Amino acid sequence: MSDPSGPLVRAASLTRHFITGEETLEVLRGVDLRVLEGETVAITGESGCGKSTLLGLIGGLDHPSGGELTVGGIDIAGLDETELSSYRNREVGFIFQFHFLLKDFTALENVVLPGLMGGEPPRQLRERARQLLAEVGLEGRSAAWPLELSGGERQRVAVARALINEPRLILADEPTGNLDERNARGVEELLFGLVQRHHRTMVLVTHDAALSGRASRRFLLSAGRLSAE
């Protein structure tokens, strides 16, 4: 059950380690994090410090080794694979450094796909997808194939795709990391504008100082633990 009175994301003493042969690699050593509904939170840190690992745990892409993790009051570690699949599809919108658009699908079809997987009526999905593409400045590009789009345009399609199922939580992993400065700033403005207009909560990890500076709160991940900046 969702707890509307508590934080949307709550991690307490969260750990994640990986065992390779006889060695144990401790990536997260006791992360504590609370994200309220409507907040934008940025997590920074050196490459390889575990930022993407933490985001993957929150998004249900990986399982924690220990500690507590809830999203909307849901115990993520307690979900089975079917429940995790539904959680990822309905509750979370993912944006990655690489757009991961399907090359044999048009921009509109790429945006619609998560909704189709969730069983929504195609006609309603197509209309919502067209509205989202218009919001990201691609109103006339819905029939374009990914190879016909620029890098910035592809990432805009990926942002629209992340919002198609109207998730409560947006998770962005280096969303400007594969873009030049001009396109990075464009995606930055777009992302924060959309999150605000659609009343979403966002957790992002980034090396981009300008991007992290836009967040309402910022954290540094170092030695497996989070500290407020």
Query: Quick check: is 26 in a domain?
Result: no
Is 184 inside any structural domain? yes
- Residue 32 inside a domain? The answer is no
> Based on the structure, what is the number of domains in the chain?
1
| SS3 state at 91 | coil
Q: Give the Cα separation of 100 and 228 in Å (integer).
A: 31
Name the E strands within the chain: 9-20, 23-35, 40-44, 66-71, 74-75, 92-95, 169-173, 201-205, 217-222, 225-228
pLDDT band at 5 (very low <50, low <70, confident <90, very high): low
Please check the confidence at residue 146 and state whether its pLDDT lies above 60: yes
CATH of the domain at 99: 3.40.50.300
Q: Is residue 23 part of a domain?
A: no
CA distances to 36, 125, 199 from 96, rounded to whole Å, are 22, 22, 20
pLDDT for the residue 96: 86
pLDDT classification of 3: cutoffs 50, 70, 90: very low
Tokens 């790429």 map to which residue? 110
